[in-house]
Amino acid sequence: MRFMFLLVLCLLPLACSPKVNINFGDGGGRLVEHTVIDDRSRASEKIALIDVRGMLIDARRPGLLGYGPNPVDQFVKALDKARNDGSVRGVVVRITSPGGTVTASDIMHDELRRFREETGKPVIASIGEVGASGGYYLALAADEIYVQPTSITGSIGVIFPTINASKGLGMIGIESRAVKSGPNKDLANPLEPAREAHYALLQTQVDELYARFRGLVIARRPGLKPADIDAATDGRVVTGNAAVGLGLADAEGGVREAYAAAKTSAGIGPARLVKYVDEDARAATTPYSVAPAQTQINLVQVQLGEAGLGGRFGMEASGFYYLWLPEAW
């Protein structure tokens, strides 16, 4: 009854955005490969396709029947599989993500950069429907970035979402008072009146993390003109077509074009594009196959588990994010 009541509330007009992501199962088992493009029957050389979908967070995502896999862990497992397979000559990372936490994005970026540097295998990022903020941060670790002309990317920046309920609580006679060891122990406490000194401290950290992101863009995207840097890194999202024009991406194209670029960079001819999926998932038959661990229903995002219906925006209640918020609802 409690679930049905909460679900009805979320379906009320204007209460939530029209998207549901319901996760089934864990999806964190051994990874197996399935051929999704074969240039020539039984070609021995391979390009590995690694999917990165949804929120980037270093934690197991809640699902309907338990918890799903940790996206960081799954990504590293896929990279290790490609690293240890001598017949894999390059990697295409297919990114469909609005971003996530600063640290998860940074870990995944570092793991991809380390893979590229240690193995010498070329890495091509292929941005799908959305590759924004932390998703774009991850793409910066690749040798080249391909985008669909209609992709949404950019959103270069940092956000620390806050909410303050102290006025509303006061109207119904509820008063909060934290007992703390120092004046800044309860930074952005949502139950007490907002204090500008607290937000000034948080802004300093946001500025530091933003400088890191912006510096990485400048270092990794030499084609970005100095006159365009401020506009390209002010947090706005752009289409794939505009990203190529700005120098944030290298070329327009999808998975097939990224696959061709990986083969060219690896110096190989006919090959197979192999997709890594969980061993319990159904076989991947095309580069766009999605494992059944996540079923999307176009109504309203619902996340179940120990956290009930999840926190604000369907993510952790507080923290620093490389995230495009409209896609996180």
List, for residues 4-53, the tens digit of each pLDDT value: 434 434 444 444 444 444 444 455 578 899 999 999 877 899 999 999 99
Task: Give the pLDDT of residue 62.
Answer: 59
Structure tokens at 8: 């009805």
Task: Give the pLDDT of residue 21.
Answer: 47
Closest CA to 239 of 127, 329, 325: 127
Task: Give the pLDDT of residue 257.
Answer: 98
- Catalytic, 133? Answer yes
CA angle 80, 115, 103 (to 5 degrees): 90
Can you spell out the DSSP letters for 28-97? -S-EEEEEEEESSTT-S-EEEEEEEES-B-SSPPEETTEE---HHHHHHHHHHHHHH-TTEEEEEEEEEE
Q: Is 229 helix (H, G, I), strand (E, B) or coil?
A: helix
Which residue is catalytic, options 97, 105, 133, 151?
133
Task: Give the pLDDT of residue 285.
Answer: 84
Which stretches of the chain score pLDDT less than 50? 1-25, 292-317, 328-329
CA distance 57 to 104: 5
- Catalytic, 180? Answer no
Task: Give the pLDDT of residue 61.
Answer: 65
Task: Give the pLDDT of residue 66.
Answer: 54
pLDDT 10s digits, 174-186: 888 888 888 888 8
pLDDT 10s digits, 205-221: 999 999 999 999 999 99
Does the reported pTM lie above 0.85? no
Give the chain's domains with CATH numbers: 22-161+226-328 (3.90.226.10)
